[in-house]
Amino acid sequence: MTIIVPRLELRGQPERGLVEAIFYALRPRLNEIRSKLQSGKFRLSDSLITTSAYYVWMALQDEEVFQIMSGGGGRLPALKGLAAPPLTKTEGTSHLLLGLFRVLYALDFSKVVVLVDEVESLFVAYGRKDLFIFSNFLRGLFDEFQSPGESSLPRLMMLLAGTTWVLEKISPALVGKQEAAGDVAGAFIRRMASPFELIPPEESDVLRLAEQRIEQHRSKAANRPFIPYEKEAILYVWNNSFGIIGDFCHRLQQMYDLAATEKADKITEDHARRVLKEPATAVSSAGD
């Protein structure tokens, strides 16, 4: 299971924003998850029936409760006599997130990757105290996964994407600056894998992304023809997207739509040049 969080909503506490964003990011696969939950083929272990994991199990099947858990606002109700972990408290958000991971594991998702982008918003919006609590929230999450004998959680990788400025805010020592005794991350840094820098994709990566994205866009509706593309068309769009993947993908969709409308035999550099003259938001089918 890959859970993609493009940004964090700013709530009273950053950990609540993270948990709600993760639940919200499940929506594209919610029908699949509900189908598994209702199939009768999967079940939680008996030891989890009175825990937050069982609450999440029920809440995922209740649209109103799921909306609250995924940032809709309001207070989570009790379900079948089981009280909800409070979203307004760090302990409650931790129980909900761990409950979700235990549900996913029970549904046969043995490996989970969480991708969180634009984490710099946390460091702009929250003060040192909130960030300290947030780092301890992540530390506690890590320790739960590493607990001896833990057998109800999947293997988890959480990637937090931000600028070098974010690393400096977490711990100056990570970017070669003098570290202060009160750095925000503290014990969390000692548990975190070494940070790494993303580099621009190679030409082969760009072409693979384009092939996958155009095919995904084409297959959203019936009777859309396969249209081959010229390598030069894809690279022209990439070189004029300034490395912004979202803009690149929108332009790919526009190119396909233009070629399909013209019943073209091939997506060419001419199509690329023409779509780049139009606003990037003018897409006939949103692909994100």
Contact call for residues 119 and 172 (beta carbons, < 8 A): no
Residue 173 is predicted with a pLDDT of 66
Contact call for residues 249 and 256 (beta carbons, < 8 A): no
| pTM, 2 dp | 0.75
Report the distance separating Cα 17 and Cα 26, nearest Å: 15
The DSSP code for 49 is: T
Q: Residues 177-183: what's their mean pLDDT?
A: 56
Closest CA to 118 of 13, 193, 14, 238: 14
Q: Residues 118-143: what's their mean pLDDT?
A: 86
- The mean-pLDDT minimum among 21-25, 40-44, 101-105, 168-172 falls in 168-172
Count CB atoms within 10 A of the CB of residue 197: 6
Residue 192 is predicted with a pLDDT of 79
Q: Residues 251-274: what's their mean pLDDT?
A: 93
Residue 186 is predicted with a pLDDT of 65
Residue 177 is predicted with a pLDDT of 64
Residue 284 is predicted with a pLDDT of 37
Can you read off the two tokens belonging to residue 222?
Answer: 């019936």
Contact partners, residue 255, CB within 8 Å, separation at least 6? 214, 229, 233, 237, 267, 271, 272, 275
Report the distance separating Cα 166 and Cα 124, nearest Å: 10
Percent of the chain scoring above 70 in pLDDT: 90
CATH architecture assigned to 203-275: Orthogonal Bundle (1.10)
**What contacts 24+ positions apart, CB below 8 Å, involve 225-232?**
225/260, 227/256, 227/259, 227/260, 227/264, 227/265, 227/266, 227/267, 228/265, 228/266, 228/267, 229/255, 229/266, 229/267, 229/268, 230/266, 230/267, 230/268, 230/269, 231/207, 232/268, 232/269
Q: Residues 128-132: what's their mean pLDDT?
A: 84
pLDDT of 156 higher than 90: yes
Q: What are the structural domain ranges in the chain?
A: 2-191, 203-275
Can you read off the two tokens belonging to residue 232?
Answer: 């030069």
Q: Residues 183-200: what's their mean pLDDT?
A: 73
pLDDT of 59 higher than 80: yes
pLDDT of 54 higher than 90: yes
Question: At 126, which helix (H) or strand (E)?
Answer: none
pLDDT of 150 higher than 80: no
Q: Is residue 7 very low, low, confident or very high in pLDDT (cuts 50, 70, 90)? A: confident
Residue 185 is predicted with a pLDDT of 61
52 burial (CB, 10 Å; 0-12 / 13-18 / 19+) is buried
Q: What is the DSSP string of 137-150?
A: HHHHHHHHHT-TT-
Q: Residues 140-151: what's their mean pLDDT?
A: 86
> How far is the CA of 193 from the CAs of 145, 153, 157, 188, in angstroms?
15, 20, 10, 10
**Single-letter amino acid, residue 286:** A
> How far is the CA of 35 from the CAs of 19, 39, 112, 160, 187, in angstroms?
23, 6, 19, 30, 40
Q: Residues 27-47: pLDDT tens digits?
A: 999 999 999 999 999 999 999
Report the distance separating Cα 270 and Cα 232, nearest Å: 10
